[in-house]
Amino acid sequence: MLETKLSQDQRKRIDKYTTKTKRYLLGVQGNNGFLFKLCVYSLLIVIGFVYLYPIIYMDSYSFKSLEDLLNPLISWIPSTFYVENYQVAYQVLDLIPTLVETLYVTVIPSIAQTAVAAIIGYGFARYDFPLKKTLLVLVLITFIIPPQVVMIPRYVFFNELELIGSILSFLLPAMFGQGLNSAIFILIFYQFFRMIPKALEEAAHLDGAGNFRIFMTIAIPMAVPAIIISFLFSFVWYWNETALASLYFGNELTTLPIQLGKFNATFEKLYTGDTTTQNINEGISMAGTMLSILPLLIVYFFTQRWFVEGVDRSGITGE
């Protein structure tokens, strides 16, 4: 009798322990288990490493001296904190003047493109007019067609207008909704403005507000995430554009990515005959690359919260 009672108590404890173990590993309703979290976090770590590996690699090699680069025993951590690579890359890129020109030819078109995309997106979201769907399809077609396809006709057109070598070759298309990937920004604003309840605009109309005032005081403040994400994407795409910039700007304007493409040739011109730095090495190249992407990393560091919010909300449909 006593043995039977003890065995029953043991079975209850075993069952209770088994149930807790299953709940911990597999989870219960509304709570993910340890195995699920382990798989998710492992996947995120692997994906994160794939994205961070190039930056870690560039950062590590940019601080290596020539001796460290030739030493097979040194892989990731340099033996000394060698900053001369950055000093050489700074001179080769002519960093400060080039950075100013890069900001000049990226920030202004990005602002213009964001403003025009907001106006067009609001028009598609709030007004009915003839051929509305047809025009929306045409906007999508402009996104599908790569800008490299039309860059030669545009070059001929800009050359006839004497716009080659001027920021206007970037600014004018942006002002007319034909900038780099303008269609995607129009669609982002279209989605955001559809989210705004029409009752707010109707109430503003009853209070005597006009269309422009409603757009500026109601629509724009509610679309701040769309404005931020559109500006950031536009800024990055204009920053990284080298083919169109090289074609339209010629020798009058330059950008950091263009200078990075000319890095080896510029290095040879500056350091020909220099006994201390005769040949370019991987450390100098990585330092130049880090300097060229550093402004983008700084911008993203300060705006990542709004960037993530804008990406998350850009796919939400309205009423």
Q: CA 144, 315, 178 angle in degrees (round to 5)?
A: 35
Of 293, 260, 287, nearest to 60 (Cα)?
A: 287
CA–CA separation, 140 and 1 (whole Å): 81
Contact 281, 69 (CB under 8 A): yes
Q: Which CATH superfamily is domain 85-313 in?
A: MetI-like (1.10.3720.10)
pLDDT of residue 241: 87
pLDDT exceeds 90 at position 213: no
CA–CA separation, 228 and 299 (whole Å): 12
278 or 258, higher pLDDT: 258
Chain mean position to CA 204: 36
Beta carbons within 10 angstroms of residue 114's beta carbon: 25
208 or 121, higher pLDDT: 121
* Amino acid identity for residue 307 in this structure: F
Contact 124, 194 (CB under 8 A): no
Residue with tokens 């890359």: 89
Phi, psi of 28 (to 5 degrees): -125, 180
Q: Per residue in 84-114, pLDDT tens?
A: 888 888 888 888 999 999 999 999 999 999 9
**Could you state, in order of their start, the residue ranges of all structural domains in the chain?**
42-82, 85-313
Give me the residues paired with residue 27 across strands. Answer: 32
Residues written for the chain: 319
Tell me the three state secondary structure of residue 181: coil
37 or 39, higher pLDDT: 39
Contact 223, 189 (CB under 8 A): yes
pLDDT of residue 4: 53
pLDDT exceeds 50 at position 9: yes
261-273: average pLDDT: 77
Contact 195, 310 (CB under 8 A): no
- Measuring CA to CA, how many Å separate 246 from each of 95, 164, 264? 18, 10, 17
Longest dimension (CA), the chain: 106
pLDDT exceeds 50 at position 316: no
Rg (CA), the chain: 28
